[in-house]
Amino acid sequence: MPGVMGSMEPVERQSLKKLTFKSLKRALDVFAPLHSQFPSPDSESKKMRLSHKISLEYGGIKPTLAQPQPAKQKSSAPSDPLALPAPEDGQRGGAHNALVVAPAAHSRQTEVGPSKSNALISTPSSSESSKFEFEDVVFVALVLESTLGLFSTSALMERIPSRWPRPVWRAPWKNYRVISGHLGWVRSVAFDPSNSWFCTGSADRTIKIWDVASGRLKLTLTGHIEQVRGLAVSQRHTYMFSAGDDKMVKCWDLEQNKVIRSYHGHLSGVYCLALHPTLDVLLTGGRDSVCRVWDIRSKTQIFALSGHENTVCSVFTRPTDPQVVSGSHDSTIKFWDLRHAGKTMTTLTHHKKSVRAMALHPKENMFASASADNIKKFTLPKGEFMHNMLSQQKTIINAMAVNEEGVLATAGDNGSLWFWDWTSGHNFQQAQTIVQPGSLDSEAGIYALSYDLTGSRLVTCEADKTIKMWKEDETATPETHPLNFKPPKDIRRF
């Protein structure tokens, strides 16, 4: 029996807030007339709640009926500077209410304001206060606030629900496979249009092709003399393109598994690479602060998109204007017009740090950009700023990707992998990668990530020379992983 007790897992302690939400959900499921809909508000309970708030806020102030005062008291009225006259009949429907200034001999008194005068406001007895209506109390409170500025009406304000979109519940992601095979940092990844294999580029100067289903190595390509920083697989041809720190951009024929074209022109390392979805055009950006546009077939440089003041480290393309969007270490994002000699259409200066990663939404006309200060969302084609994500990862973000379901993944230099809801900007999971045995904890950085074509698998390329594959946890439910979302009170518009 002791052995059985020792093998039992300890019961996880849950907070009172979590247990309360569970109980509330069960009660709604059992007693709610319609599932997924809250019951209609009860006017009686609302009135009771409001009267309780009023009694708490204005408990020491009650109106009294204006008594006919003799002439002697009228002559002494200027000696009471805080005495307020009763409202007229037309304003309050014939009810004469006033605030009576009591002498200092009353036992229950409240001092008014920071002034040095001895004027005091008294509270009448319970028999008098029972005569007055609910509206009279509210009116006196408003008079006090407007004339003396003593009390706040925040307790009387109707609570308006937040207009911020509430995120849908999403299952957390878990690591289900670790692939090792590279001899250096894994710096880039790209998926095949058939979704059967993916390729990775590494600091060991090789490109490896892996099977998606089994994770086995299918092919190793050599040809670069420095680390491979960018990869892209064409959807229109049997070509794969690679770029590296050796200033080279190569075109690989996947039927022959060899280099058939090289694109020369970059003056320094090439950091990013993208293929146009409808044209036979290749875009590369690098340390020479220029984004270059190449004709795939003729190997000629069509445009040199110059305008950035520092390294171009992220680029993506789309079929309509702006066809090219680039991000740079100079903390700006530029839209380029390919129809008019590659001129700049717009420059976005919202970020304060280097824009190392961008992600285009596969369905909506929006994109997200990541920097060390914030993750921001913009609309297309105008580039209007929408909002920041609701949390800060507080690290250098090297890569980001979004799938069709609206799950945005961002990877940091410290090994953090955060998952976000695209619509609301809510961070619903904060994962931390684990380095393989024998590696240093400082080698927990993630340099590249990409979803497969279905959006159900995520591949991360890391500094511990491994490739990790992630998927959603099928066993997770809203009860085991509740949605902890608080709508923002104020949104920073920059």
Kindly tell me if the per-residue pLDDT of 84 is higher than 70: no
Kindly tell me if the per-residue pLDDT of 477 is higher than 90: yes
Question: Comparing C-alpha atoms, which of 467, 485, 356 is closest to residue 420?
Answer: 485
Q: Which backbone phi and psi does 463 adopt, to 5 degrees?
A: -80, -10
Kindly tell me if the per-residue pLDDT of 487 is higher than 80: yes
Q: What per-residue confidence (pLDDT) applies to 492?
A: 59
**HEC sequence for 380-422:** CCCCCEEEECCCCCCCCEEEEEECCCCEEEEEECCCEEEEEEC
- Cβ atoms of 163 and 146 within 8 Å: the answer is no
Q: Each residue of 354-374: pLDDT tens digit? A: 999 999 999 999 999 999 999
Kindly tell me if the per-residue pLDDT of 69 is higher than 50: yes
Kindly tell me if the per-residue pLDDT of 39 is higher than 80: no
Q: Each residue of 122-134: pLDDT tens digit? A: 444 444 444 445 5
Task: Quickly list DSSP for 79-121.
Answer: G-TT-BPPPPHHHHTT--EEBPEEPTT-SSEEE-SS-S---EE
Tell me the residue type at 29. Answer: D
Structure tokens at 358: 């961008």
52: three-class secondary structure by DSSP: helix
Kindly tell me if the per-residue pLDDT of 74 is higher than 50: no
- Cβ atoms of 446 and 398 within 8 Å: the answer is yes
Of the given ranges (67-76, 157-166, 322-331, 430-439), which has the lowest mean pLDDT?
67-76
pLDDT-based confidence at residue 344 (cuts at 50, 70, 90) = very high
pLDDT-based confidence at residue 81 (cuts at 50, 70, 90) = very low
Structure tokens at 325: 């969007």
Structure tokens at 57: 């806020």
Which CATH superfamily, name and number, covers 182-404? YVTN repeat-like/Quinoprotein amine dehydrogenase (2.130.10.10)
- Cβ atoms of 259 and 250 within 8 Å: the answer is yes
> What mean pLDDT comes out for the span 2-13?
61
Domain boundaries, the chain: 182-404
| 290-292-293 Cα angle (round to 5) | 155
Kindly tell me if the per-residue pLDDT of 152 is higher than 90: no
Q: Each residue of 440-451: pLDDT tens digit? A: 888 899 999 999
Structure tokens at 289: 């602060």
Q: Each residue of 422-432: pLDDT tens digit? A: 999 999 999 99
Q: Each residue of 249-270: pLDDT tens digit? A: 999 999 999 999 999 999 999 9
- Note if the pTM is more than 0.85: no
Q: What per-residue confidence (pLDDT) applies to 482?
A: 92
Kindly tell me if the per-residue pLDDT of 240 is higher than 80: yes
Q: What per-residue confidence (pLDDT) applies to 215?
A: 94
Residue, of 301 and 10, whose pLDDT is higher: 301
Kindly tell me if the per-residue pLDDT of 5 is higher than 60: no
Q: What per-residue confidence (pLDDT) applies to 77?
A: 43
